[in-house]
């Protein structure tokens, strides 16, 4: 065998040091360190110093150095560090010590060995042989592992070897034999695969994958393994894997949940982008109108009456924009503000009837302009009804419900505002009813969600009803929608009465 050219050997060594945590040390005839390099600090470098004897921190070198032979010690466990492959080469009067990190290799081998041991245990159980010459696996050990081992004949009939755990009974017939029954159960399906595996006569095992079935005390999960013993006997091992199953499920669940969360966030960001465009559009529209009005006002020889009308129009646009901005600001402010700021006792609580009268009076002209009649129906006794609410925000809730009704009510129809006490429940119900098209069933679930924009929303951003729900819930009340008999919509809120 020809030796590697020095330049190539150098390159290979450099790559080893860089990629594999390799290290070297040159020792003299007395075993003292003359020089060291590579990843030496990782491999106990802190214990080895140039000029000192290497055998002190590395006692296993004793006996090896005087022998002056090429020595290989694979996967040597070193104190304070993981396993390393050790190579000792005689060199001149002394030696060269080479260390290669073996952590990855040992871990992999360990895992394979563990799996091999498990299969050996099953095979030993089947054949009654000793395991490793030291351990005779008995029923207790197999039972502890929640396993059952069956021996199968060429017809696929499998009989338990040793005692049968109670959970295993579900798979056995009255005669204690597991046999393919054509009932489309999971194990039945796997026995077909197992039969093909046994027929092939190849060494190794075939695993079924996990399956779960309902049981009286909950769900039980299993995994089956088909095995072929060295003497050609067919074995089936069934394992209860509840704990391992839960661990596997937890890991997979976390991975998938993270993926779902990511998707949800991505969609949410998309929605926000659309919303932002809507907001810009909504806020820009009145501004454009105002700019147009200002242009018109500069027209030469403008009729004073027309100028006054234009100014009024500009004022309305400004008010519209102001209202939109206030609505937005209110939403965000409400979310961060302390939500406990509302009346909880009769004294100082808003009177629902007074709020209704006041708000409807203020909105009257808008309804009149739109050709919609607005009627108010309050309890006949005219007594105040103090409710758990914040007065200003209650005004805004009602304003939103009225604005919503006005938007959908056809010209010539009537919008009704009703206040009714709810007998026996200490609540009062406020309803706003219109004769518009109502809310289609598909939109009802999300009607009060933020940014919900139903048909005919007229370019609004969909915050009004969200604000109403947010406030009413804060006060411990409820809000809802129902179809109005005879056609139209009815939005209602229920609030706690504070007058006992």
Partner 1 sequence: MIRKKVCLLGSYAVGKTSLVRRFVYSEFSDRYHTTVGVKVDKKELVVNGHELHLVLWDLYGEDRWQEVRASYLRGAAGALVVVDATRLETLEVARGLSERLRAGDANAKVHLVLNKIDLEGEFAVPLDEWRARLDWAPVHLASAKTGSGVEEAFAALGQDLLAGRP
Q: By the criterion CB under 8 A, which residues form the site for partner 1? A: 183-186, 189-190, 192-193, 209-214, 219, 221, 223, 245, 248-249, 252-253, 255-257, 260, 263, 267, 442-443, 445-446, 449, 452
Tokens 């079935």 identify what position?
213
Based on CB atoms, which residue is closest to partner 1, 38 or 180? Answer: 180
Residues 6 or more apart in contact with residue 169 via CB below 8 angstroms: none
Based on CB atoms, which residue is closest to partner 1, 256 or 272? Answer: 256
Tell me how far the alpha carbon of residue 141 is from its chain's centroid.
39
Question: How many other β-carbons are positioned within 10 Å of the β-carbon of residue 477?
Answer: 21
In whole angstroms, how large is the CA radius of gyration of the chain? Answer: 42
**Under 8 Å between Cβ of 26 and 37:** no
Question: How many other β-carbons are positioned within 10 Å of the β-carbon of residue 317?
Answer: 19
| Residue 66 φ then ψ, to 5° | -65, -25
Based on CB atoms, which residue is closest to partner 1, 225 or 317? Answer: 225
Express the helix, strand and coil content of the chain in percent, nearest 5 each.
Answer: 45, 25, 30
Residue 245 Cβ vs partner 1, minimum distance, rounded to whole Å: 6
Please name which of 57, 130, 144, 138 lies closest in space to residue 99, comparing C-alpha atoms. Answer: 57
Based on CB atoms, which residue is closest to partner 1, 199 or 373? Answer: 199
Based on CB atoms, which residue is closest to partner 1, 208 or 431? Answer: 208
User: How far is residue 398's CA from residue 390's CA, in Å, rounded to a whole number?
Assistant: 12
Residue 307 Cβ vs partner 1, minimum distance, rounded to whole Å: 47
Tokens 């034999």 identify what position?
177
Residue 221 Cβ vs partner 1, minimum distance, rounded to whole Å: 7
Please name which of 98, 97, 85 lies closest in space to residue 28, comparing C-alpha atoms. Answer: 97
Helical residues (DSSP H) of 337-447, grouped into ranges: 352-369, 391-408, 441-444
Residue 125 Cβ vs partner 1, minimum distance, rounded to whole Å: 24
Based on CB atoms, which residue is closest to partner 1, 269 or 442? Answer: 442
CA end-to-end span of the chain: 104
- DSSP codes, 434-462: --S----HHHHTTTTSTT---TT-TT--S
Please name which of 41, 40, 65 lies closest in space to residue 55, comparing C-alpha atoms. Answer: 65
Number of Cα atoms under 13 Å in the Cβ half of residue 389: 30
Based on CB atoms, which residue is closest to partner 1, 172 or 313? Answer: 172
User: How far is residue 29's CA from residue 93's CA, in Å, rounded to a whole number?
Assistant: 5
Residue 384 Cβ vs partner 1, minimum distance, rounded to whole Å: 40
Please name which of 21, 86, 102 lies closest in space to residue 54, comparing C-alpha atoms. Answer: 86
Residue 239 Cβ vs partner 1, minimum distance, rounded to whole Å: 13
Based on CB atoms, which residue is closest to partner 1, 245 or 467? Answer: 245
Helix axes 391-408, 464-474, angle to 10 degrees: 140
Residue 178 Cβ vs partner 1, minimum distance, rounded to whole Å: 16
Based on CB atoms, which residue is closest to partner 1, 98 or 194? Answer: 194
The token pair that represents 189 in the structure block: 């399906």
Based on CB atoms, which residue is closest to partner 1, 263 or 319? Answer: 263
Based on CB atoms, which residue is closest to partner 1, 214 or 486? Answer: 214
Residue 276 Cβ vs partner 1, minimum distance, rounded to whole Å: 19
Residue 273 Cβ vs partner 1, minimum distance, rounded to whole Å: 16
Residue 249 Cβ vs partner 1, minimum distance, rounded to whole Å: 5
Residue 233 Cβ vs partner 1, minimum distance, rounded to whole Å: 24
Based on CB atoms, which residue is closest to partner 1, 209 or 458? Answer: 209
User: How far is residue 132's CA from residue 366's CA, in Å, rounded to a whole number?
Assistant: 94
Residue 342 Cβ vs partner 1, minimum distance, rounded to whole Å: 30
Q: What letters, b where the CB count within 10 A reaches 16 and e where it falls short, cover 408-429?
A: bbeeebebbbbbeeeeeeebbb
Please name which of 164, 195, 198, 161 lies closest in space to residue 179, comparing C-alpha atoms. Answer: 195
User: How far is residue 163's CA from residue 47's CA, in Å, rounded to a whole number?
Assistant: 56
């Amino acid at each position: 065998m020809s030796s590697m050219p020095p330049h190539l050997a150098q390159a290979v060594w450099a790559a080893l040091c860089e990629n594999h945590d390799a290290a070297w040390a040159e020792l003299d005839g007395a075993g003292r360190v003359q020089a060291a390099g590579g990843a030496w600090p990782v491999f106990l470098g802190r214990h080895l110093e140039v000029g000192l004897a290497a055998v002190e921190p590395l006692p296993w070198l004793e006996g090896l150095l005087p022998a002056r032979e090429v020595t290989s010690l694979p996967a040597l466990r070193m104190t304070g560090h993981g396993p390393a492959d050790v190579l000792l080469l005689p060199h001149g009067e002394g030696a060269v010590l080479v260390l290669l990190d073996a952590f990855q290799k040992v871990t992999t081998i360990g895992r394979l060995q563990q799996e091999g041991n498990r299969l050996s245990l099953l095979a030993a159980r089947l054949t009654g042989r000793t395991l490793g010459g030291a351990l005779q696996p008995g029923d207790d050990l197999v039972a502890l592992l929640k396993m059952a081992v069956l021996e199968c004949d060429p017809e696929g009939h499998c009989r338990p070897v040793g005692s049968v755990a109670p959970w295993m009974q579900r798979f056995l017939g009255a005669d204690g034999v597991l046999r393919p029954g054509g009932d489309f159960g999971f194990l039945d399906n796997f026995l077909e695969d197992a039969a093909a595996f046994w027929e092939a006569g190849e060494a190794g095992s075939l695993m079924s994958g996990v399956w779960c079935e309902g049981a009286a005390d909950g769900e039980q999960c299993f995994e089956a393994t088909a095995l072929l013993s060295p003497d050609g006997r067919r074995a089936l091992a069934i394992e209860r894997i509840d704990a391992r199953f839960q661990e596997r499920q937890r890991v997979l669940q976390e991975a998938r949940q993270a993926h779902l969360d990511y998707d949800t966030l991505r969609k949410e960001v998309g929605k926000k982008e659309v919303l932002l465009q809507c907001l810009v559009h909504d806020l820009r529209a009145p501004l454009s109108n105002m700019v147009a009005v200002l242009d018109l006002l500069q027209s030469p020889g403008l009729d004073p009456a027309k100028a006054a009308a234009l100014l009024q129009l500009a004022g309305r646009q400004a008010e519209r924009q102001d209202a939109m901005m206030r609505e937005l600001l209110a939403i965000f402010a409400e979310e961060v503000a302390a939500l406990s700021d509302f009346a909880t006792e009769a004294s100082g609580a808003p009177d629902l009837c007074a709020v209704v009268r006041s708000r409807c009076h203020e909105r009257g002209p808008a309804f009149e302009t739109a050709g919609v009649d607005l009627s108010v129906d309050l309890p006949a006794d005219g007594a105040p009804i103090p409710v758990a609410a914040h007065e200003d925000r209650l005004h805004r809730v009602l304003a939103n419900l009225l604005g919503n009704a006005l938007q959908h009510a056809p010209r010539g129809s009537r919008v009704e505002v009703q206040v009714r006490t709810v007998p026996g429940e200490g609540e009062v119900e406020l309803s706003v009813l219109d004769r518009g098209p109502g809310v289609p069933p598909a939109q009802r679930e999300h009607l009060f969600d933020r940014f919900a924009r139903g048909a005919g929303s007229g370019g609004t951003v969909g915050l009004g009803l969200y604000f109403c729900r947010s406030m009413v819930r804060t006060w411990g009340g409820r809000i809802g929608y129902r179809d109005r008999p005879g056609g139209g919509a009815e939005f209602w809120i229920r609030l706690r009465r504070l007058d006992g």
